[in-house]
Amino acid sequence: MSKWNSFNRREFLSTALGAAASFSVLPSGHRLLSELLEPQSKFAPFQFPDDFIWGAATAAYQIEGAWAEDGKGESIWDRFSHTPGRVKGAGTGDVACDSYHRYKEDVALLNALNLTSYRFSISWPRIQPDGSGAPNPKGLDYYKRLSDALLEAKIRPLCTLYHWDLPQKLEDAGGWPNRDLAARFTDYVDVTVRTLGDRVSHWCIFNEPWVFTFLGYGRGIHAPARENFAECMRATHVVNIAQGQAFRAIKAINSKLQVGTAFSMSNCEPATKSDADRQAADRAHAIGNVWFIHPALRGEYPKAFPGENPLGLMGVGVKSGDMDLCRAPLDFLGINYYRRQLISAVPPGSGEDATGVHNFDGHEGPLTDFAWEIWPDSFHDLVFRISREYKTTPLEITENGCSYLDCPDEHGRIPDERRVQFMRGYLHALGRAMLHGANVRAYHHWSLLDNFEWAEGYAQRFGLTYVDFRTQKRTIKDSGHWYAKLASTGSLT
Ligand code: FCB
């Protein structure tokens, strides 16, 4: 373990606070460590380890554009964004950041930011336009060129196989609630990794499985815009099976490839100290944070629903032998973290779902321009909790970021001081979690570029780099310069 600023981990654990923080003495719970820390120590200078990986993240549909080029098929996000009324301002990913043509410029940006890891995603309909069958060589070539450019720049490609852009043909055949999709997905993973596995050694199978099943099939505010809770729950099970099968397919190609998934997570904090709210917060954690981890690492679903035989009641559709299919000893867990959730108990069935949970945003901290609350302690507590629950699996922060609409000033500079403060807060929280024992090896900021923000279209800007969407000119924001310095020294003040 390399240099820590004030004291190393072993020394820390021998202090009173360290002892309280050690895994064995803390009960499962919320905000305990943050409550123990003095406010001034939250910003104590922190030195990240020398081998810590600094990166940025993007996703195919949000940046590539070229939506119908070189044989690419239609995805559910093409269909969704081309349907009037679905996306704010009628935004689409047709052009987005045009990264399909400008990827070299984007690799140069990563280089200028001193980053050593780039998390990007592969568009399934570029590889299999209809979702099955022979791969499209032009699609594969694009990702070969991109990966080669990254390797040339000494940047690790961290490639996500599914960041939400399902081929529309597969949605027409039933989408994720259809069990056949697990086999289709495994086939796509197999052809892709067979071609790229000689260059790309780190893979995320899915991006945020809870978000694309819940928002896409349950709430209908993301593609494919279905609103059916039973279908959503079935979809989650098919995704869990697909995760297990994809994991085995990748390992069969090369057992040395490192495979994980990027999970969306929120620290679930009980709204009051009542037992009912605490239990509801645990159920919210089960469904929202670890619903796709527990089956992979432990071969069972976590307890997310009150009552007897809850999985049967929820119609998840678990058949005999399924939980073995879901098993996948993931090499790392990716955490995408944006904000906490406050949780109160409601009678099952009367809340947003059958978990008997009502969740709402915290509003003690300041808000970003997307109105997401800033509460770095919750990041510390979540990372610490996950590292304790899945002790032996290393963590990578695969996304964390904020939307601010700062524009170029009269000199063309983008003074986004609020993003710098956001990053300082969350990275200090991460550093504290590491001091307390969390095994975190990487941080990827969302995002490298301002881009297409799903149903929000172009109304949000998450980039370290400002994109002028009329000209495609990229300009590194002040926060990007700040992050570049951190990435080169690892020294957080
Ligand atoms: C995450 C998504 C990512 C981006 C950020 C802001 O949920 O994974 O694509 O939209 O939110």
Helix residue ranges, H only, 173-260 = 180-196, 209-213, 229-253
Q: What is the mean pLDDT of residues 119-134?
A: 98
Taking the centre of ligand 1 as the mean of its atom positions, its distance from the CA of residue 464, in whole angstroms, is 14
Taking the centre of ligand 1 as the mean of its atom positions, its distance from the CA of residue 125, in whole angstroms, is 20
Q: What is the pLDDT confidence band of residue 23, given thresholds at 50, 70 and 90?
A: very low
Instruction: Please give the pLDDT value at position 17.
Output: 39
Query: Torsions phi, psi of 270, nearest 5?
Result: -60, 135
* % of the chain exceeding 90 in pLDDT: 86
Contacts 24+ apart (CB under 8 A), 34-41: 34/377, 34/380, 34/381, 37/432
Q: What is the pLDDT confidence band of residue 307, given thresholds at 50, 70 and 90?
A: confident
Phi-psi bin for 113: left (phi > 0), alpha (psi -120 to 50), beta? alpha
Nearest CA to ligand 1 atom 10: 453
Mean pLDDT of the chain: 92
Which residues, 6+ apart, have CB-to-CB distance to 52 below 8 Å? 441, 442, 443, 490
Q: What is the pLDDT confidence band of residue 349, given thresholds at 50, 70 and 90?
A: low
Residue 8 pLDDT exceeds 50: no
- Answer whether 160's CB lies under 8 Å from 121's CB: yes
Residue 302 pLDDT exceeds 70: yes
Paired strand residues for 337: 265, 400
Residue 179 pLDDT exceeds 80: yes
Q: What is the pLDDT confidence band of residue 10, given thresholds at 50, 70 and 90?
A: very low
Q: Atom of ligand 1 at shortest distance to CA of 264?
A: 7
Q: What is the pLDDT confidence band of residue 25, given thresholds at 50, 70 and 90?
A: very low
Residue 15 pLDDT exceeds 50: no
The pTM assigned to this predicted structure is 0.92
Concerning whether 399 is annotated as a catalytic residue, the answer is yes
Q: What is the mean pLDDT of residues 477-489?
A: 98
Pocket of ligand 1 (CB under 6 A): 59, 62, 207-208, 211, 264, 336, 399, 446, 453-454, 462
Instruction: Please give the pLDDT value at position 289.
Output: 98
Instruction: Please give the pLDDT value at position 304.
Output: 93
Concerning whether 308 is annotated as a catalytic residue, the answer is no
Q: What is the mean pLDDT of residues 379-407?
A: 98
Task: Please state, in angstroms and as integers, the Cα–Cα distance from residue 334 to each residue in 77, 126, 183, 386, following that order.
Answer: 23, 25, 24, 11
Q: What is the mean pLDDT of residues 368-384?
A: 98
Q: What is the pLDDT confidence band of residue 319, given thresholds at 50, 70 and 90?
A: very high
Place of tokens 């063309």: 412
Instruction: Please give the pLDDT value at position 354.
Output: 80
Q: Atom of ligand 1 at shortest distance to CA of 262?
A: 8
Instruction: Please give the pLDDT value at position 26.
Output: 40
Q: What is the mean pLDDT of residues 247-264?
A: 98
Q: What is the pLDDT confidence band of residue 467, given thresholds at 50, 70 and 90?
A: very high
Ligand 1 pocket test: pick from 208, 212, 370, 456 the residue with the most ligand atoms within 8 Å of its Cβ.
208
Spatial distance between the Cα atoms of 377 and 368, rounded to a whole number of angstroms:
16
Place of tokens 């590889």: 127
Q: Which residue has the higher pLDDT, 244 or 43?
A: 244
Instruction: Please give the pLDDT value at position 308.
Output: 73
Q: What is the pLDDT confidence band of residue 39, given thresholds at 50, 70 and 90?
A: low
